[in-house]
Amino acid sequence: MDTPAGSTVDVDVNVDADADDDYDEIPLQHKRPFGSGLHRKTVAFVPASASDGCLNSTDHVNTAAKPKQLDVADLYLSMVLSKDNKTANEAVQVGETGAAICEVCRLPLESEPAPAGSSDVDDGNSSSSKKDGGKVHENSFAHQVCLPHSYPPSALDRSRMGLSYLSQYGWDPDSRKGLGAAEQGITFPVKATPKYNNLGVGIHVPKNLPPPREKKERLLDAGKVRKQARKDKRKAERIHQQLFGNQDLEKYLGPGALG
Amino acid sequence: MTDYNSESSDPTKGVKRTNMGEDGTKDSKRIKTANGDEKYNPYLAHQYEDSSSQQNGFKSPLDQLERHNTTALQMSQAEDGERNPWTGEPHSQQYFKILQSRRDLPVHKQRQEFLDTYHSTQILVFVGETGSGKTTQIPQYVLFDELPFQTGKLIACTQPRRVAAMSVAQRVANELDVKLGEEVGYSIRFENKTGPKTMLKYMTDGQLLREAMHDHDMTRYSCIILDEAHERTLATDILMALLKQIAARRKDLKIIVMSATLDAQKFQSYFYNAPLLAVPGRTHPVEIFYTPEPERDYVEASVRTVLQIHATEPEGDILLFLTGEEEIEDACRRISLEVDDMIRESDAGPMRVYPLYGTLPPAQQQRIFDKAPEPLRKGGRPGRKCIVSTNIAETSLTIDGIVYVVDPGFSKQKIYNPRSRVESLLVSPISKASAQQRAGRAGRTRPGKCFRLYTEKAFKKELIEQTYPEILRSNLANTVLELKKLGVEDLVHFDLMDPPAPETMMRALEELNYLACLDDDGELTKLGSLASEFPLDPAVAVMLISSPEFYCSNEMLSITSLLSVPSIWIRPNNARKRADEMKAQFAHPDGDHLTLLNAYHAFKGAEQQGTDMKQWCHEHFLSFRHLSSADNVRAQLKRIMETHDIELISTPFQDKNYYINIRRALLAGFFMQVAMREGSNSKVYKTVKDDQLVMIHPSTVVTSPYDWVVYNEFVLTTKQYVRTVTNIRPEWLLEIAPIYYDVDSFEKGEIKSALSRVTEKVRRRQAIKGSGH
């Protein structure tokens, strides 16, 4: 737990392997945040209906004849996505010209040219059937983003007494809903941001600004004090010169006026 | 038309119609005819004659009226009579003078319209700006229509603030020419000025909520008026949800929701699209100015703006909004100094600067109504006054003569964080609604100007639409306890206008659970029910209830009272040192709670010797006002304790456990507000379970660095402080609050290991004792 941020995985394991059982071997900076990046991660999972283990390539989806086994990923997908897949397939509307529109993402279902992003995927299947085209479309980025997806469960501690009371009256912590007659209330407490300065409304301090350096109080010895006094005196003389050594002024006031 | 008038003046037709909702058809018909009939109708003069002749007798004109079927005209006649229609006494001279001014109020013009709408509906939303007269007049209009002597039911009008409830009640008593506390009264926390004759009752919203705990249907009232609903205080929000429920059960209860801002549609839709009635305020156009660039220092900028206005703008007073006491006092000083310079250098007019904030003594608050100073010499530039205020001048207080408003865009807001359980006052940007409200203050007497110290872009993009209502920013422990007592079980679907976050609600439930006010299933316990009887925070109430177990209920009663009033210590800027010396006289080395108690005992002791208490307090740098109100609070709480048979006991002062008992008793309520010192040389403490790093507030008398302290409040300024602390021993925690201090429930850390050590120690000591037997 206390390993420095830069240490590598194997070092960590060597040091701490038996110190702590549930020690996580992946350094924090390499960990993927849970629940973030729907586009990248979920998309990679969807075509696994053909699960050969090669999750990245959608070629397998189209070339493989049948799914061989059900693995964990399949199971997960059948729970999370099966319904949506079905509805998506059923929702295909065939237009008069034959161009169907997907109900989920409201984009036309293209059968011949694949979307630019997945053109390499679709190389061998340019004359695929409508169903295959649907599948290609399903794998497309735009479609994936539009799919309703499940959220990670709420981080609330399930053993809390307050939670059990609220769930007794029908509030589900994972529903992403608040309280109220229609559960329309806010879901998270209002956040407080303390303000330690006098900056006006509309000024924002950049977050990564280094904190202002505190001025150190200097201790002056006799020499420094004398030096400072000399400096001040010179400054005063200069100002005096500027004000009273002015020729224009002398012209108006007469030479005797300034002294 | 004929039908309308004869119906209302016919005394034989006095059928009480209590249920307006079911009689909708008749009502709507009547209103149609009524619209053209607001003015005096000369063709029906004989009928008016009729009623006025009866008025001359001893009979009250009100006896002729039919409840929920009166007209503005009848009421005016009743008000114009020689004798007071409510008491039968002759009217005083002053009465008619006030009556005249009342008739000039904007709301008076719509009296008939108001009555018509009021008759037609159960719930009514009324919008009128401050100064329209709604707070004083509408309850009186209702009074003349509800005729409480017929039903024996009262009219309640709630106010968010105690001072408002008191002063408005006094004003209305004057207007009705009755004595305060008789026909018109008020009821606020720790003070009830009502009598058996009371018909109209001004009260704080919290007070009405407390009453509802014993009267779930609010059967004492025939009409409830929620004033200043736009302020959205916690209690008003709860009341609105509650009244919504009650209104469904009690069709005879009428509800008026009064708001000063025009966003009343939200209220309207919340109350099943109740009819809305708006009274235009007396307002003038206000020109609004923004800065082209954001300001670097808003205090600096606001001081400069005030001075610029003074130098360049024509006559008219200035209102500057700042955030807190310190900032306001500082700005006042700076403005005064600068103005002195301006007078000397550029012949500027005189300017008087007044601060205004909640904790200012009333006499000083009153000074803001002083007239602006005269010009320094005849024909010189006019003087003006400048009021530097917190946002209490935003809606609640009306100061006439303000022409210029300076708005830096900040206010102090209470915010509660349920995760760290910290309630703090933070400076934060205001909302758009609040900015508009502030600007509106400039147009009360004549067209004005508002100077906003931010850009227009910032106004549009940075400011939120509405200020978060208090319910979203508060600790709800007290509220949940009240709701449980009110019989509200389903806290999930309780129909609040803005329901709080689930986490806040959960935290409140858990806090009450730890205090044993709720059991593990969330049911109200006996202790919880008893605690809700006290107008105190649940923790304080529990502390008070359990104090007899520690043989010091008298002392805890005193401490509780002292903690429920503003600080009794006075520390003037020019005499800080002497004030601190005086405080040190009362100091108890073990903590501030005990020091408070010492000061109170000294106060009572001096009082009994017949000392001039004001002088005594002045000499000792104590607030006479707050000590007296603590005394008053104490008497009230004592009465509650007596009615619930809570023993009042003390140990003799010489008892060596006298102070120890008190310190232990503090923990019975405040065991969730304990902090442990970080390390042996550190000044930093860490709060138990919430893990907040805090320091002890410099105002403390505690000098030795104790390892464990109990604190009264958490203060967040530039640093995190705990204020009013007292030294305790960790063994007590395990003994007094074993569930909360169950070592296994703690997260790994210093506090956990410290507690385990203590547990071990206690266990060993007991084992030794056991073996000794």
Confidence band, pLDDT 50/70/90 cuts, at residue B189: confident
Count the neighbouring beta carbons within 10 Å of the beta carbon of residue B430.
24
Which of A163, A196, A198 lies closest to B718 in CB terms?
A196
Q: ipTM beyond 0.90?
A: no
Half-sphere exposure of A182 (CA within 13 A, CB side): 4
CA distances in angstroms from B61 to A90, A105, B48, B143, B499, listed in the order given: 77, 73, 12, 14, 47
Contacts of B419 in chain A (CB under 8 A): 189
Tell me whether A8 touches chain B (CB under 8 Å): no
| CB B528 within 8 Å of CB B484 | yes
Confidence band, pLDDT 50/70/90 cuts, at residue B710: very high
Highest mean pLDDT of the ranges A56-65, B259-268, B457-466, B712-721? B457-466
Q: What is the DSSP letter of B488?
A: -
CA distances in angstroms from B642 to B534, B545, B597, listed in the order given: 12, 11, 21
| CB B568 within 8 Å of CB B630 | yes
pLDDT at position B40, please? 54
List the single residue in A with minimal CA-CA distance to B413.
Answer: A192
| CB B256 within 8 Å of CB B142 | yes
Tell me whether A168 touches chain B (CB under 8 Å): yes
pLDDT above 70 covers a percentage of chain B that reads: 91
Token pair belonging to A254: 């007469």
Residue A47 has pLDDT above 60, yes or no: no
Cα torsion at A100, A102, A108, A112 (round to 10°)? -70
Please count the residue pairs, one from chain A and one from chain B, whose beta carbons lie less than 8 angstroms apart: 151
Which of A166, A168, A198 lies closest to B506 in CB terms?
A166
Which of B291, B426, B496 lies closest to A180 in CB terms?
B496
> CA–CA separation, B596 vs B627, rounded Å?
10
List the single residue in B with minimal CA-CA distance to A179.
Answer: B492
Q: Which residues pair with B286 in a beta bridge?
A: B448
- B585-600 pLDDT, tens digit per residue, is 999 999 999 999 999 9
Confidence band, pLDDT 50/70/90 cuts, at residue A110: low
List the single residue in B with minimal CA-CA distance to A173.
Answer: B502
List the single residue in B with minimal CA-CA distance to A170.
Answer: B492
Tell me whether A72 touches chain B (CB under 8 Å): no
> CA–CA separation, B80 vs B528, rounded Å?
52
pLDDT at position A107, please? 77
- A151-210 pLDDT, tens digit per residue, is 788 888 888 999 999 999 999 888 888 999 888 999 999 887 888 888 888 887 777 767
Confidence band, pLDDT 50/70/90 cuts, at residue B732: very high
Residue keyed to tokens 């900040």: B410
More confident residue, B760 or A11: B760
Residue A15 has pLDDT above 60, yes or no: no
Contacts of A155 in chain B (CB under 8 A): none
Residue B476 has pLDDT above 90, yes or no: yes
Best mutation target among B272, B463, B506, B518 (most A Cβ atoms within 10 Å) is B506
Which of B424, B468, B513 lies closest to A161 in CB terms?
B513
List the single residue in A with minimal CA-CA distance to B509.
Answer: A162
Tell me whether A201 touches chain B (CB under 8 Å): yes
B501 three-state secondary structure = coil
Contacts of A157 in chain B (CB under 8 A): none
Residue B145 has pLDDT above 70, yes or no: yes
> CA–CA separation, B592 vs B697, rounded Å?
11
Contacts of B490 in chain A (CB under 8 A): 169
Of B301, B309, B359, which is closest to residue B329 (Cα–Cα)? B359
Residue A56 has pLDDT above 60, yes or no: no
Half-sphere exposure of A222 (CA within 13 A, CB side): 0
Burial of A241 (0-12, 13-18, 19+ CB in 10 A): exposed
pLDDT at position B446, please? 86
Residue B213 has pLDDT above 60, yes or no: yes
| CB B620 within 8 Å of CB B582 | yes
Best mutation target among A158, A165, A166, A199 (most B Cβ atoms within 10 Å) is A165
Say yes or no for a CB contact (<8 Å) between B505 and A166.
Answer: yes
Count the neighbouring beta carbons within 10 Å of the beta carbon of residue A62.
18
List the single residue in A with minimal CA-CA distance to B323.
Answer: A198
Say yes or no for a CB contact (<8 Å) between A187 and B502.
Answer: yes
Residue type (1 letter), A180:
G
Say yes or no for a CB contact (<8 Å) between A200 and B491.
Answer: no
Token pair belonging to A171: 């509030």
> CA–CA separation, B664 vs B676, rounded Å?
16
Which of A156, A179, A199 lies closest to B492 in CB terms?
A179
Say yes or no for a CB contact (<8 Å) between A196 and B429.
Answer: no
Contacts of B426 in chain A (CB under 8 A): 192-195
Tell me whether A183 touches chain B (CB under 8 Å): yes
Mean pLDDT of B402-423: 90
> CA–CA separation, B634 vs B536, rounded Å?
12
B128 three-state secondary structure = strand
More confident residue, B290 or A74: B290
List the single residue in B with minimal CA-CA distance to A201.
Answer: B454
Contacts of A165 (CB under 8 A, 6+ apart): B491, B506, B509, B521, B522
Mean pLDDT of B320-331: 92
> CA–CA separation, B145 vs B118, rounded Å?
9
Contacts of A188 in chain B (CB under 8 A): 501, 503
Tell me whether A1 touches chain B (CB under 8 Å): no
> CA–CA separation, B456 vs B461, rounded Å?
9
Which of A166, A192, A201 lies closest to B502 in CB terms?
A166
CA distance A139 to chain B (A): 37
Contacts of A173 in chain B (CB under 8 A): 502
Tell me whether A169 touches chain B (CB under 8 Å): yes
pLDDT at position A17, please? 41
pLDDT at position A66, please? 47
- B425-464 pLDDT, tens digit per residue, is 889 999 988 898 888 888 888 888 999 999 888 898 989 9
CA distance A21 to chain B (A): 16
Taking the CA atoms of B500, B504, B508 and B509 in sequence, report the sign of the dihedral they define: positive
> CA–CA separation, B531 vs B528, rounded Å?
5
Contacts of B505 in chain A (CB under 8 A): 162, 166, 179
| CB A172 within 8 Å of CB B487 | no
For chain A positions 15-44, those within 8 Å of chain B (CB to CB) are none
Lowest mean pLDDT among A209-218, B515-524, B561-570, B740-749: A209-218
Taking the CA atoms of B207, B211, B216 and B220 in sequence, report the sign of the dihedral they define: negative
pLDDT at position B543, please? 95
Lowest mean pLDDT among A28-32, A60-64, A66-70, B108-112: A60-64
Residue B565 has pLDDT above 60, yes or no: yes
Contacts of A162 in chain B (CB under 8 A): 505-510, 513
Contacts of B499 in chain A (CB under 8 A): 178-180, 184-186
Q: Which residues pair with B221 in a beta bridge?
A: B154
Of B167, B72, B86, which is closest to residue B117 (Cα–Cα)? B72
- B493-503 pLDDT, tens digit per residue, is 999 999 999 99
Mean pLDDT of A123-132: 45
pLDDT at position B65, please? 80
Confidence band, pLDDT 50/70/90 cuts, at residue A68: low
Which of B295, B453, B498 lies closest to A185 in CB terms?
B498
Q: What are phi and psi of B450, to 5 degrees?
A: -125, 125
Q: Strands B184-188 and B191-193: what pairing? A: antiparallel
Say yes or no for a CB contact (<8 Å) between B458 and A166.
Answer: no
Lowest mean pLDDT among A112-121, A231-240, B102-111, B114-123: A112-121
CA distance B675 to chain A (A): 22
More confident residue, A157 or B321: B321
> CA–CA separation, B517 vs B527, rounded Å?
5
Residue A8 has pLDDT above 50, yes or no: no
pLDDT at position A166, please? 92
- A36-46 pLDDT, tens digit per residue, is 333 333 223 33
Lowest mean pLDDT among A116-120, B406-410, B551-555, B694-698: A116-120
Say yes or no for a CB contact (<8 Å) between A195 and B428.
Answer: yes
Which of A164, A173, A200 lies closest to B296 in CB terms?
A200
Q: What are phi and psi of B689, to 5 degrees?
A: 70, -35
> CA–CA separation, A2 vs A15, rounded Å?
11
Q: Crossing angle of helices B111-120/B134-146, nearest 10°?
A: 60
Confidence band, pLDDT 50/70/90 cuts, at residue A28: low
Residue B64 has pLDDT above 80, yes or no: no
Say yes or no for a CB contact (<8 Å) between B409 and A162.
Answer: no
pLDDT at position B106, please? 85
Mean pLDDT of B529-551: 93
Contacts of A184 in chain B (CB under 8 A): 499
Mean pLDDT of A219-237: 90
List the single residue in B with minimal CA-CA distance to A196.
Answer: B718
pLDDT at position B395, please? 73
Contacts of A212 in chain B (CB under 8 A): none
Contacts of A193 in chain B (CB under 8 A): 426, 428
Highest mean pLDDT of the ranges A86-100, A121-135, B141-155, B198-212? B198-212
The mean pLDDT value of chain B amounts to: 86
Tell me whether A159 touches chain B (CB under 8 Å): no
> CA–CA separation, A173 vs B757, rounded Å?
37
Residue B44 has pLDDT above 90, yes or no: no
Q: Which residues pair with A13 in a beta bridge?
A: none
Burial B193-203 (b: 16+ CB within 10 A, else e): bbeebbbbbbb
Contacts of A195 in chain B (CB under 8 A): 410, 426-428
Contacts of A246 (CB under 8 A, 6+ apart): none
Which of B294, B297, B499 lies closest to A185 in CB terms?
B499
pLDDT at position B122, please? 94
CA–chain centroid gap for B738, Å, is 36
